[in-house]
Chain A
Amino acid sequence: MTQSDEDWQPKIVAFLCNWCSYAGADLAGVSRIQYPSNVRVIRVPCSGRINPLYILKALASGADGVLVSGCHPGDCHYISGNLVARRKFALLKRFFANVGIEPERVQFSWVSAAEGPRFAALVEKVAEDVRKVGPSDKLVAESV
């Protein structure tokens, strides 16, 4: 799987919670807001459902960046899933930086179901951040 340097486009895996962030992304879509197409969405019921190993596995499988987004604190459909997740995410954000993986690659955010434009702006920012740090090669198998 090789791409020439000029052609490279970041591959970003986005874990979006069903009730807020995924709906917000959907709203961006039906509103016909243009935003970078580098994001591959995985819908989860709640940001609290996200096992930190998912983020690690995404990076190890070749994702250049991982975006995780849930409901704003206080607005979780399951009351407190995002609050449980917030602590995990705080540790994870530091964790990847601790071993030298660029912090721009793993980002966390809150996007509500009404925030179509905000989701688009979020993807713009994350795609640009990941583009700047280049293809991820740290956790993937070296190609033969």
Chain B
Amino acid sequence: MSDVQGELRKVVGDLLEQGKVDVVLGFEEGTRPLSASPCFIRQAERAAELVWNPCCSVNVAAYLPRLFTPDPRLKEPPPPPRVAVFCKGCDGRSVVGLIKENQVPRENVVIIAVPCGGVIDRDALTGRLNGAEIAKAKASADKIELTDESGKKHTVKLNDVLSASCRECTVRVAPVRDVLVGEAGDEPKPAGDGSHRLESMSPEERWEAFRREMSKCIRCYACRQACPNCYCHACFAELSSPRWLGAGDAVEDVMFFHLGRMIHQAGRCVDCGACVRACPMGVDLRPFTQKLVADAKELFGFEAGLDIETPPPLTVFKPEDPQEFITEPG
């Protein structure tokens, strides 16, 4: 783990020194133990602040669209920056998605791919401490040694506190990349037999599961802010013309928000889990978003973010597209 970090710092330092990029988007030590914060580095000396560890859980691709959006007030906006972005497998897929949707120009990004073994779910971790705050912590390749605020020491296996999406990850390394730091290795097989949680549920059970998650939501929009695919300057949830839904946490509005956002993710979501990790209330959207991902694959043979050439599924059509769902009057 640490030599990948060292190699990463060197790669970034070289890129900046040689003037190949204007800014590097990566992670630095976070403000709490066992956290890493995204950071923007413009000077080669600061490359030494970069870290790579299982706390690097943010999907940094979410920062890219705004870097490439010129300030509309400027008469002559500056040329787009050249950005090096440090990607886990899921981040890399998100970057590919953004390139395909013309939010990020391919020639302006240097994708630095790092093979990822998964990131920590902080809720799972603090759950094991019975709510005690973490005073000190050290994460290594397979375990975390930490001291809580009362001085008690704990050792936790990394596998036990991995984020749920990491357990089911099938793309550990960014599939489209300019630089590979560390070694790629084989991609993990899909966890489970491929059948989906929702498939085994009756409609009533699905509705119960959905309603239960929705009842926790407080409309803070953390999920939307964390998602790289949510880059709209004016989100449908905040429009007053048309007014799709109310602003508060009334459950019918909460449901509309999440259903609408999921509809907008159809064929685009890479199941990075950033939304679930960002949520302060423990809403688990993944059973529903994963099903969307599975549907896009089954209906159109499409998997998001694996290559730049394949067009997004809803931008193309084929004469033989499936239409078993069409109602034929008797």
Q: Which residues of A contact B (CB under 8 A)?
A: 52-53, 56-57, 60, 73-74, 80, 83-84, 86-95, 97-102, 107-110, 118, 121-122, 124-126, 138-142
Complex contact B263–A100 (CB within 8 A): no
CB < 8 Å neighbour of B205 from A73, A100, A109, A124: A100
CB < 8 Å neighbour of B259 from A56, A84, A124, A126: A56
Complex contact A53–B236 (CB within 8 A): yes
Closest beta carbon of chain A to B245's beta carbon, Å: 7
Measured CA separation A80–B321 after assembly (Å): 13
- Complex contacts, A140 vs chain B, CB 8 Å: 252
- Complex contacts, B263 vs chain A, CB 8 Å: 52-53, 56, 92, 95
Measured CA separation A74–B255 after assembly (Å): 36
Contact with A along B253-265 (1 / 0, CB 8 A): 0011001101100
- Complex contacts, B322 vs chain A, CB 8 Å: 90
Closest beta carbon of chain A to B201's beta carbon, Å: 8
Complex A-B: 6 CB contacts under 8 Å: A91-B266, A94-B299, A98-B206, A100-B203, A108-B325, A141-B252
Measured CA separation A94–B324 after assembly (Å): 11
Complex contact A99–B252 (CB within 8 A): no
- Complex contacts, B241 vs chain A, CB 8 Å: none
Complex contact A98–B198 (CB within 8 A): yes
- Complex contacts, B206 vs chain A, CB 8 Å: 97-100
CB < 8 Å neighbour of A110 from B207, B291, B299, B326: B326
CB < 8 Å neighbour of A90 from B203, B255, B260, B321: B321
Measured CA separation A138–B330 after assembly (Å): 28
B300 sits at the interface (CB 8 A)? yes
Given contacts A53-B244, A98-B206, A73 and B252 within 8 Å (CB-CB):
no
Complex contact B295–A91 (CB within 8 A): yes
Q: Which residues of B contact A (CB under 8 A)?
A: 198, 203-210, 236, 244-245, 250-252, 255-256, 259-260, 262-263, 266-267, 288, 291-292, 295-296, 299-300, 313-314, 317, 319, 321-323, 325-330
Measured CA separation A89–B292 after assembly (Å): 13
CB < 8 Å neighbour of B325 from A80, A93, A125, A142: A93
Closest beta carbon of chain A to B182's beta carbon, Å: 37
Measured CA separation A108–B327 after assembly (Å): 6
- Complex contacts, B262 vs chain A, CB 8 Å: 95
Complex contact A125–B330 (CB within 8 A): yes
The winner among B288, B296, B314, B327 for most chain A CB atoms within 10 A is B327
Given contacts A53-B260, A141-B250, A122 and B327 within 8 Å (CB-CB):
yes
Measured CA separation A60–B258 after assembly (Å): 13
Closest beta carbon of chain A to B124's beta carbon, Å: 26
Closest to A138 in B: B207
CB < 8 Å neighbour of A60 from B256, B317, B321: B256
- Complex contacts, B209 vs chain A, CB 8 Å: 100
Complex contact A126–B327 (CB within 8 A): yes
Q: Which 4 A-B residue pairings sit nearest by Cβ, starting from the closest? A: A100-B207, A100-B206, A121-B329, A122-B329
Closest to A118 in B: B329
Closest beta carbon of chain A to B155's beta carbon, Å: 40
The winner among B206, B262, B295, B330 for most chain A CB atoms within 10 A is B295
The winner among B291, B292, B325, B330 for most chain A CB atoms within 10 A is B325
- Complex contacts, B210 vs chain A, CB 8 Å: 99-100
Given contacts A53-B244, A56-B256, A87 and B250 within 8 Å (CB-CB):
no
